Amino acid sequence: MGKRAALATYDKEFSFVSPVVKYLLFLFNLIFWMISLVLMSIGIYARMMKHAEAAMACLAVDPAILLLIVGVLMFFITFCGCVGSLRENICLLQTFCIFLTIIFLLQLAAGVLGFVFSDKFSCCGGVTYTDWSQNMYFNCTTDNRSRERCSVPFSCCLLSKDEAVINTMCGRGMQELPFLQAGAFIHTNGCIDKLVNWIHSNLFMLGGIALGLAIPQLVGILLSQILINQIKDQIELQNYNLQHRTDPWQ
Residues 20-66: pLDDT tens digits?
989 999 998 888 888 888 888 887 877 776 554 444 444 445 566 77
Which of 85-94, 148-157, 213-222 tops mean pLDDT? 85-94
- Of 2 and 96, the structure prediction assigns the larger pLDDT to 96
- DSSP code, position 160: -
> Alpha-carbon distance 146 to 140, whole Å?
10
Helix spans in 50-62 (H): 52-57
> Alpha-carbon distance 40 to 68, whole Å?
5
pLDDT value of residue 242: 80
Burial profile 198-222: b = 16 or more Cβ within 10 angstroms, e = fewer: beeeeeeeeeeeeeeeeeeeeebbe
User: pLDDT grade, residue 91 (50/70/90)?
Assistant: very high
pLDDT value of residue 41: 86
> Alpha-carbon distance 94 to 79, whole Å?
13
